[in-house]
Amino acid sequence: MYEAYFGLQRRPFAPVPSLEEYFPSTSIETARQTLVRCIQRAEGPALLVGPSGTGKTLLCQAIARHFQNDFNVVMLTSGGLSTRRALFQAILYGLGRPYRGMDEGELRLALADFLTSDKSHPAGMLLLADEAHTLPLRLLDEIRMLTNLVYEGKARTRLVLAGGPALEERFASPKLASFSQRLAARSYLEGFTRSETDNYIREVVVRAGGDGERLFTPDARAAVYQATDGIPRLVNQVCDHALVLAFAAGKPVVERATVEEAWADLQQLPAPWNAEIRGSRPAGGVIEFGGLKDEGPADFAAADFPSSPMEEGSASLGSTDDHSPAAPEPASPGPAQDVPAEEQLDRIQALVGQLEDDFHPAGAIKPEVELVFDEPTSPLNEEFQEEEVISHPASNPPAAVHRTPTEPLAGLRNMRGSARRGAGELSESNPLDSRATVPLPRHLDGAQTSNEPPEIVVEDLGEDFEWVSRRRVQPVRHHEYRQLFTRLRYG
């Protein structure tokens, strides 16, 4: 469009990254040397971080060209990958291998087989992932596992991840802790400095066949840096649009006013300052869209504040209650410029303080739900019921028979053997002081055939006999223990 008018062979400021426009600024050249060293020495994955428009994609293209004869270079430029299958398909497509009609497992095996059997590039594959900050965490971890593929003692995959500042934040996730430990290099890109911006504009114009010193005036190059802060993408946009405006206006060179107008058009901002409209340029320092002038107290006092509740508060300050002492009303000043700035500030602070005092919340905040927790109980502390003895009727002995009814037997506790099981409950009135007999159970003597129950003779134990007090025996219920342990095990 304007190339012939300015004597250029091609468009100098391209809107897309181009290796012909690579400019070795300090930050980008330092990052390039770090990444090249990391790839050559197989130190591990490398990270390239920079804001938008600082040349991350351009640097990846430069690295791909540098290693195109040593590695199978694959550059992932689409950050919209969301599945492992899509990731493997993109890598196989970059390698020129079949990728259609295969599931995830087949794609993984096909990639591993190619990396371990390819003899044309013994160094393996160089994977450059641009816009890596848009990849999900599971895909980043899948890419990490590609670097674990080792054949004949050498890693088959070299990796460079490029992205915005969000990429470095993602590596703070615990899910990527293993990946973060393996990172061997972190490089950061920044915008051009003022001198680098000036040199970049002149060099790009020279590469396109023009006169770099004459096409953009020194003031125009300074205005480009002032508007873009040295971001390479914005520098290209502003310079290209300034050339279009200069061509439309029939100007042979690009001046500062043209750059200011181009920046305003790109940002959809109000029209910039213009020397032709104002007649003369302000003498003070000039910022992006105009000059700064000192505003004194008079300018502050003369400023018109919009109507707000503060003005109503000022009226209420003047009205006082009949029973309260009236506050001294300040004398109404004359012209606004005669009021000191300190007094204006005090009045504003008083109005703000009154608004804060009058403010009341809409209502008290009360708890919506009351949580009541019962005291924890342990099932092991549960009291057992009284023992209930269940026996076969054939084993139940008959009641005790006393041969001497005048001398009742006391409760006998210390009986031994089978006689203890067959004895019934004895009387507890007095200690045993004479002979007594109790019947034996039938199953003890299988040869017993008479109707009279067998007898057992209990000798007098004497005065030294110690009687055992009656205690309640807690029964052992095995089925309840099994149910309890089952509940404890399965919650």
Residues 90 and 170 in one domain: yes
Residues 70 and 141 in one domain: yes
Per the CB < 8 A criterion, the answer to whether 152 and 122 are in contact is no
Residues 165 and 239 in one domain: no
SS (H, E, C) 163-220: ECHHHHHHCCCHHHHHHHHHCCEEEECCCCCHHHHHHHHHHHHHHCCCCHHHHECHHH
Give the pLDDT mean for 283-287.
45
Per the CB < 8 A criterion, the answer to whether 222 and 254 are in contact is no
Q: Which two tokens stand for residue 255?
A: 């001046």
Question: pLDDT (tens digit, 9 = 90+) per residue, 443-458?
Answer: 444 444 445 555 554 4
Question: pLDDT (tens digit, 9 = 90+) per residue, 123-132?
Answer: 899 999 999 9
Residues 31 and 174 in one domain: yes
* Beta-carbon count within 10 A of 417 CB: 8
In a domain, 257, yes or no: yes
Residues 173 and 272 in one domain: no
In a domain, 38, yes or no: yes
CB-facing half-sphere around the CA of 305: CA atoms within 13 A: 10
Q: Tell me, what's the pLDDT at 439?
A: 52
For the chain, give the mean pLDDT: 74
Picking from 134, 157, 188, the residue at the C-terminal end of a domain is 188
Question: pLDDT (tens digit, 9 = 90+) per residue, 450-491?
Answer: 455 555 544 455 555 455 445 565 666 677 777 888 888 776
Residues 197 and 182 in one domain: no
| Rounded Cα–Cα distance for residues 392 and 38 (Å) | 89
Residues 263 and 143 in one domain: no
In 3D space, the residue among 73, 62, 69 whose CA is nearest the CA of residue 36 turns out to be 62
Q: Which residues of 426-456 are buried (b: 16+ CB within 10 A; e: fewer)?
A: beeeeebeeebbbbbbbebeeeeeeeebeee
Q: How many domains does the chain have?
A: 3
Q: Tell me, what's the pLDDT at 289?
A: 46
Question: pLDDT (tens digit, 9 = 90+) per residue, 296-332?
Answer: 444 444 444 444 444 444 444 444 444 444 444 444 4
CATH number for position 273: 1.10.8.60
CATH number for position 163: 3.40.50.300
In a domain, 438, yes or no: yes
336 or 118, higher pLDDT: 118
Q: 36: buried, middle or exposed (CB in 10 Å: 19+, 13-18, 0-12)?
A: middle
Instruction: Read off the pLDDT band of 270 (50, 70, 90).
Output: low
| Rounded Cα–Cα distance for residues 47 and 25 (Å) | 19
| Rounded Cα–Cα distance for residues 306 and 238 (Å) | 38
Residues 176 and 219 in one domain: no
Residue range(s) defining the domain that contains residue 31: 26-188
In a domain, 293, yes or no: no
pLDDT at 121 over 70: yes
- Classified as helix, coil or strand, 490 is coil
* Beta-carbon count within 10 A of 477 CB: 14
28 or 343, higher pLDDT: 28
